[in-house]
């Protein structure tokens, strides 16, 4: 079931309206664990998040996909306010993170109850609002898929097949992408409807190429972590993916859900980086049309099935 349009926090839009899109970001997020180390992964200043979003719009950005799922501090009402104040389309998600961040009630609910919860969010809205998700998420742990994570994958696959909502996954440090796809294919999910995130973190270009050749799309989304050499390793990986004929299966984003990454919170490089400094480095090894595939055409295909 293809949608040929995208669900934003303000309803459906045509794929052509998405424009330049980051497919994995965070605007308001709060990992639901007491460990103090997650304070730096907590974005709770709506004004600062709106300013960061405005900086994205100022350099040509048009759509952000907010990937905070259930039990990860999502704030869909704030996403709508940010979208309306900045003019940037925001798409948010339902679904589950990896084992560490799963809701404490996940194991207590039956498959039917979890399925009904996801379907209710997709059909009626999330967190007491009429805001509906435009993507569904699952995650897996470092080098393993736990039984709960496999259960979540099965639920997500079922919901995807019934609704057409695209799937975006968390591959911890880039791992388990092939294993995720193998399970999804057994569940009759077309790899073309799957976005595998954080693949650059595995630092293995041949692995990235293998994933692309399944028909899935990978996300290079830890851009901006190595500013000293202007992300040279990721520029090289993307160049190699282009040479291998895989650029139609690559999306770009920053996954900047951390105060240290956002100027509006006192960090760097921020949402503008990919469309400014990083783009400048990439245009040394590719044409602008190739860059646009990663931030316009490929995200549109994933989010709209077109």
Q: What's the pLDDT at 37?
A: 87
pLDDT beyond 90 at 150: yes
Is 60 exceeded by the pLDDT of residue 291? yes
The strand pairing partners of 92, in sequence order, are 66
Neighbours of 32 (CB within 10 A): 14
pLDDT tens, residue by residue, 153-193: 999 999 999 999 999 999 999 999 999 999 999 999 999 99
**pLDDT exceeds cutoff 60 at 2:** no
Task: Calculate Rg over the CA atoms of the chain.
Answer: 18
pLDDT digits (tens, 9 = 90+) for 228-241: 999 999 999 999 99
Locus of tokens 């389309």: 89
Element (H, E) at 13: strand 11-14
Q: State the binding site for Zn(2+).
A: 24, 26, 137, 170, 198, 255
Nearest CA to 215 among 248, 237, 242? 248
State the residue range of the domain holding 196: 5-304
Neighbours of 99 (CB within 10 A): 18
- Helix, strand, coil % in the chain, rounded to nearest 5: 45, 15, 35
Label residue 122 by pLDDT band (50, 70, 90). very high
Cβ distance 215 to 192 under 8 Å? yes
pLDDT band per the 50, 70, 90 thresholds, residue 296 = very high
Q: What is the pLDDT of residue 305?
A: 73
Contact 54, 86 (CB under 8 A): yes
- Is the pLDDT assigned to residue 134 strictly greater than 70? yes
- pLDDT per residue as tens digits for the range 59-88: 999 999 999 999 999 999 999 999 999 999
| 46 touches 53 (CB < 8 A) | no
- Average pLDDT over the chain reads 96
pLDDT at res. 82? 98
| Residues ≥6 apart with Cβ < 8 Å to 220 | 199, 200, 234, 237, 238, 250, 251, 252, 253, 294
Looking at the chain, the whole-number percentage of residues with pLDDT higher than 90 is 95
Is pLDDT of 201 > 80? Answer: yes
Sign of CA dihedral 15, 18, 23, 24: negative
Residue 6's φ and ψ, nearest 5 degrees, are: -120, 140
Angle between helices 46-58 and 76-86 (to 10 degrees): 40
Say yes or no to pLDDT of 1 above 60: no
Binding residue numbers: 24, 26, 137, 170, 198, 255
pLDDT at 13 over 80: yes
What pLDDT does 223 receive? 95
Give residue 265's pLDDT.
97
Taking a C-beta distance cutoff of 8 angstroms, is the pair 58, 280 a contact?
Answer: no
- Give the count of domains, the chain: 1
Helix axes 205-212, 232-243, angle to 10 degrees: 40
**What is the H or E stretch that residue 7 is in?**
strand 5-8
The predicted-structure confidence for 44-62, as pLDDT tens digits, reads as follows 999 999 999 999 999 999 9
Report pLDDT for 253.
98
- Give me the pLDDT at residue 58, please: 98
Residue 3: the pLDDT is: 61
DSSP 3-state of 217:
strand
CATH of the domain at 23: 3.20.20.140
CA within 13 Å, CB half, 22: 29
Q: How far is CA 214 from CA 83, 196, 282, 284, in A?
A: 34, 11, 25, 28
d(CA 189, CA 104): 28
pLDDT of 212 reads: 98
């Amino acid at each position: 079931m293809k949608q040929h349009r995208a669900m934003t926090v303000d309803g459906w839009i045509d794929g052509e309206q998405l424009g330049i899109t980051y497919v994995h970001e965070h605007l308001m997020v709060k990992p639901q664990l007491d460990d103090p180390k997650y304070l730096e992964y907590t974005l709770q200043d709506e004004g600062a998040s709106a300013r960061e979003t405005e900086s994205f719009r100022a350099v040509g950005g048009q759509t952000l996909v907010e990937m905070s799922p259930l039990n990860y501090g999502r704030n869909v009402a704030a996403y709508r306010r940010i979208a309306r104040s900045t003019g940037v389309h925001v798409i948010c998600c339902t679904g589950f993170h990896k084992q560490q961040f799963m809701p404490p009630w996940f194991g207590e609910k039956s498959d039917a109850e979890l399925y009904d919860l996801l379907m209710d969010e997709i059909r009626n809205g999330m967190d007491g609002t009429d805001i509906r998700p435009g993507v569904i998420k699952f995650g897996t742990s470092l080098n393993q898929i736990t039984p709960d994570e496999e259960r979540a994958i099965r639920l997500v696959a079922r919901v995807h097949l019934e609704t057409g909502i695209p799937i975006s996954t968390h591959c911890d440090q880039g791992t388990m992408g092939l294993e995720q796809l193998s399970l999804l294919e057994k569940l009759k999910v077309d790899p073309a409807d799957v976005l595998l995130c954080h693949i650059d973190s595995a630092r293995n270009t041949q692995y990235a190429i293998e994933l692309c050749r399944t028909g899935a799309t990978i996300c290079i989304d830890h851009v901006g972590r190595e500013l000293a050499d202007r992300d040279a390793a990721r520029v090289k990986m993307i160049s190699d993916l282009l040479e291998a004929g895989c650029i139609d299966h690559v999306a770009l984003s920053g996954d900047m859900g951390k105060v240290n990454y956002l100027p509006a919170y006192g960090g760097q490089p921020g949402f503008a980086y990919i469309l400014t400094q990083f783009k400048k480095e990439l245009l040394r090894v590719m044409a602008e049309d190739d860059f646009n595939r990663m931030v316009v055409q490929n995200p549109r295909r994933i989010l709209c099935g077109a």
